[in-house]
Chains A and B, each alone.
Chain A
């Protein structure tokens, strides 16, 4: 065994022996990994049991649900022109709607029918929620629904355009709201002040479309690095927005994952790399992991990815070797998530599929919401949150 492989295996054992994420699910794919430390989770639900609550939503959304403490936040868009924007807050235990705020899209709302203006997943912290919409509207609400600030990014930068529809989600890093706004016009990555929404930095990007969400790497000195794919993968200083390095790891649809120094980047397959101070060292590339719009997830030394057509693959995180593949029914836009020894898939047709992880996959349960859905599930508070086109489902014991 080479020193490099030994080091890699040690690293992976450290990083993924047990996933290190909080029980809140504060942003896209939780903390950006798609993994939760929650335990005793349900495998599914039926018409008569297993559903803690269900709430009606005012519009569609491919954005994921996020949670912080007892609050559940979700965005939606509606209207003939998809220009009505909604931010809602529910009580996690009861499903009671705590507040609902409305905005109007100030940017162009033309988009592919598979998506809508409520495409970026919001991000939450202890103070409230930050909601970005594909129309370039971004708002911060306190946990009680008080509007803290609002920005029309298209009002500020009028050439912003991507009429396929933008979907990159904002992330919190370095005490700032980092907003990815790659598009065919004024393309940029910006950090906004959490209290006022004003620019703290704004870094130009190539004028190209991008649907991926940046990954945040926490550095030993307490700072952070924003890893954002596109034509290349680029790393930005969270404090200043300065570009630190880039690597030939193209992407732009599915999103990267970072755990310590381990980096997973989807794009023409999936690559695993070791992050260094000023770049990456590629560990392996798996051309078979063609995950389409979904982002792969790493748990317990394995990488799991699902193709849009429903082939679930398990790849050894140390070597990139395919351990198994397995076909599940459905088409998949939502990314897989992992918790409690189970992998959860949510199909476009609205089915939750729980798969027991191990040397052989086993479908534990399939549950139908009865409505179409494309949002990545959220896991928090002993429950799984599913977002359909019309309803929000909380799967868990009452």
Chain B
């Protein structure tokens, strides 16, 4: 059989896609509410039928994919890999490795490529993984740190301690940070998680404002227009002024019930100014059980009107861009009127970080209600109270 005949037969095969560009274009074109799904479904079949040759182009297409389109791509990759696994055919390990190492590609696609590579050549994959401790993809980063720690633990106690010292700076996940912090503490090494995670620990707080029947959530009280530290507002319980509060919690929590008294159907605004050395994209990551709105430099970047359905770390994430110099962050923390014990929390914590959850070089600009200004490091905690003596 001649090569041209083979090629002709391949091209005649309905599922064959010599160049998957048309198929990928259809997958990338899926829109809202299922728009483009019919065309994408036909393209998905042809793409998967193309087999392993379509893997890298499909992973590369993540660069231009919406989250919905990325799932069309992801499922196609898993279908191709699944078929090859069932047929006991090897995946293109070298191409997958090169893709993992290409940090210009989308992190999520690189993670998929890594897993396929690890399935193909598990013995070599751990070496690749060990070099990814500063990877933008959170699971690669996490697993790379774990791999390096595992290797160090097998080497010697000294190697493990050195690795813990080195790697904690790359850690982002709270459980991994806690584990490393505790391990280092046993060696007498203190690690400051608050500054590492860039929690804003000092705020000017104004409130409570009225939130009867939840109506205050949509009402723009004066602080949303501008923050004047000397201003006095009409509050829910009387005149309201800005009050400085500083967290004593290493994860930056401000407990409003403790600070302002337990008030239901209420709203508090928390204000902080930070100084950035340059314009930079950031993520505002908040932890709170309350309905929340976040404004950066006067622009609302996040709102969530749900009350008391969890207070998971970093559950609220907003993207924003800081300008060089002074930037203002305003958080609206809303409490409802529910009576069960699980609905009493009124608190928040906010950190300003990069896309990996890591530190960005910011300083806090403190302005007191008296008008005094000073620059302090971000993440300063309120000193713990001195132990009582008898």
**Contact surface of A with B, Cβ cutoff 8 Å:** 79-81, 99-104, 106, 108, 110-112, 137, 139, 145-152, 155-156, 159, 161-164, 183-185, 192-193, 195-199, 207, 209
Contact = CB atoms under 8 A, between A and B. Distances in A.
B139 A80 contact: yes
Contacts of A185: 304-306
Nearest to B314: A110
Nearest to A87: B75
B320 interface: no
B33 A80 contact: no
A209 B309 contact: yes
A184 B173 contact: no
The 10 closest A-B pairs by CB, nearest first: A184-B306, A163-B310, A198-B34, A110-B312, A106-B67, A110-B315, A102-B78, A152-B68, A149-B37, A197-B34
From A79, A108, A163, A164, residue with most partner B Cβ within 10 Å:
A163
Contacts of B309: 161-164, 184, 209
Contacts of B76: 147
Given A103-B74, A104-B74, A106-B71, A145 B82 contact: yes
A102 B116 CA distance: 13
A197 B44 CA distance: 15
A161 B71 contact: no
A159 to B, nearest CB: 8
A149 B310 contact: no
A80 B138 contact: yes
15 contacts: A80-B139, A80-B173, A99-B79, A99-B82, A101-B78, A101-B79, A104-B71, A108-B315, A137-B71, A150-B71, A155-B66, A156-B33, A161-B309, A192-B34, A196-B41
Interface residues of B, number: 38
Contacts of B79: 99, 101, 145-147
Interface string B60-84: 0000001110111011111100100
Interface in B63-107: 66-68, 70-72, 74-79, 82
A100 B82 CA distance: 7
B38 interface: yes
Nearest to B78: A102
Nearest to B289: A163
Interface in B291-326: 304-307, 309-310, 312, 315
Contacts of B66: 155
Contacts of B312: 110-111, 163
B71 A103 contact: yes
A190 to B, nearest CB: 10
B138 A81 contact: yes
A147 B41 CA distance: 7
B32 interface: yes
Contacts of A155: 32, 66-68
Contacts of A139: 71, 75
Given A110-B315, A161-B304, A163-B310, 15 more contacts: A80-B138, A101-B75, A102-B74, A102-B77, A104-B67, A111-B312, A145-B82, A147-B76, A149-B40, A150-B68, A151-B33, A152-B67, A162-B309, A163-B315, A185-B306
B183 interface: no
A191 B20 CA distance: 33
A102 B173 CA distance: 23
B108 interface: yes
Among B44, B71, B72, B77, which residue has the most Cβ atoms of chain A within 10 A? B71
B44 A146 contact: yes
Contacts of A80: 138-139, 142, 173
